Structure 1
Amino acid sequence: MKKSALILLPLIVFSCKKAVPMSEKKTDSVIVSEQSANTLPSDSQDLKINHDSLKTIQKIDSDADEIKNGQIIKVVDGEKLPLLIDEKFTDKNQKLVLKIRNYKKSSLKASILPQNNKMNIRFNQIKTPDGKFDGPFGRELSYEIPKNGEVWLIIGKNLMAEGEIAGDFSVRIE
């Protein structure tokens, strides 16, 4: 009995003893001066859209075909792709629905180019010609389209992130 008590006593004392946390000084392995030297132009807070590189892309004006309950609905012809659409959100609950009629390609590529890189905007959903919805996505979208017909791109606020929703942006569709 005494031997077992002598064996158990140090184990009990050791297991009940709380370890005092040591204050560790955590440092990042990347030095700030190196980080700023290695950033890309696309990492900057104010992303400038270079329209010169989009000369072959047709530009659509920002006059909406229809505005209904905060949704801006634009209808474009799939035969006119690639194109660039300039738009502006003035309210935090707005959405842009791009209806692409006569889409005949097997895949769709699109990207959102906000004037302010802090803008909280993304592709919320895509509706394929077979009636199926998919999403959410980010600012870049590459999607296989199962058959010819009308494709919808629904663009709006990212509910999982913070940032400004109002502002100017462009949507490039290829």
Structure 2
Amino acid sequence: MKNLSLILICILLFSCQKKENNIIPKEEKNIISIDSSTTIVKEENKQIGDTIFMNFKDNKDLFLAESSLDSINSKIYVKFKNEDAAELKAEILPAKGKGNIRFNQIILPDNTSDGPFGMDLKIPLKQKGSYVLVIGHSLMAENPYYGKFKIQLEVKKE
């Protein structure tokens, strides 16, 4: 009887242990294999649903991402963090050159907001925390923009 209860306790302990999951989502990192011994991990800011998380800067210290607006995702949310007093310079670069697309709002860490803006944005960032840029078309103009565009953010410390 003692042996049976000891075996049951061991089985219970081994089955209740959490296994660590080290899988990297495909949306966050691209893995490029040169050969079987060399692997390069390319970090990119990708759109997941209607949100882009700006986590990676390029070699010019810019946040870059590609996105698209369609009838399903008529607004795109760009989230980034700022830890110091800085100035934000943001730009939308439509694939078609020009279009009815703009920065509709910026939501500050204290949940206040400002906007609307145009395709370019220059604003001081005085608060620490997470910021959200809302991108969409202007409801005051005709022909909403549908298609691909690039987003470029530059956060310069003051």
* Shorter-chain TM-score tier: 0.5 to 0.7
**SS of 1:141 mapped into structure 2:** strand
Alpha-carbon contact 2:108-2:132 (below 8 Å) kept: yes
Structure 2 regions of 5+ residues with no counterpart? 1-41
Aligned residues: 110
What is the root-mean-square deviation of aligned Cα atoms in Å?
2.3
Residues 117/103 of structure 1: CA separation in 2 closer, same or farther (3 Å cut): farther
Deviations 1:146-172 (A, max 9, x none): 211111110001111123421111011
TM-score (norm 1): 0.56
Take 1:85 and 1:161, find their aligned partners in 2: how far apart are those partners?
25
Q: Residue 133 of structure 1 aligns with which residue?
A: 113
Take 1:73 and 1:93, find their aligned partners in 2: how far apart are those partners?
10
More helix by share: 1
Give 1:104 shift. 3.0
Take 1:143 and 1:173, find their aligned partners in 2: how far apart are those partners?
11
1:56-71 to structure 2, matched below 5 A, reads: 60=44, 63-65=46-48, 67=49
Q: Residue 39 of structure 1 aligns with which residue?
A: none
Q: Residue 62 of structure 2 aligns with which residue?
A: 82
Alpha-carbon contact 1:60-1:86 (below 8 Å) kept: no
Moved over 6 A (4+): none
Q: Residue 173 of structure 1 aligns with which residue?
A: 153
Give 1:116 shift. 1.3
Residues 103/163 of structure 1: CA separation in 2 closer, same or farther (3 Å cut): farther
Structure 1 regions of 5+ residues with no counterpart? 1-57
Identity of matched residues, %: 35
Higher mean C-alpha displacement, 82-91 vs 138-147: 82-91
Alpha-carbon contact 1:82-1:173 (below 8 Å) kept: yes
Take 2:63 and 2:85, find their aligned partners in 1: how far apart are those partners?
15
Take 1:104 and 1:134, find their aligned partners in 2: how far apart are those partners?
20
Alpha-carbon contact 2:84-2:126 (below 8 Å) kept: no
1:88-107 to structure 2, matched below 5 A, reads: 88-91=68-71, 94-107=74-87
Q: Residue 90 of structure 2 aligns with which residue?
A: 110
1:151-170 to structure 2, matched below 5 A, reads: 151-170=131-150
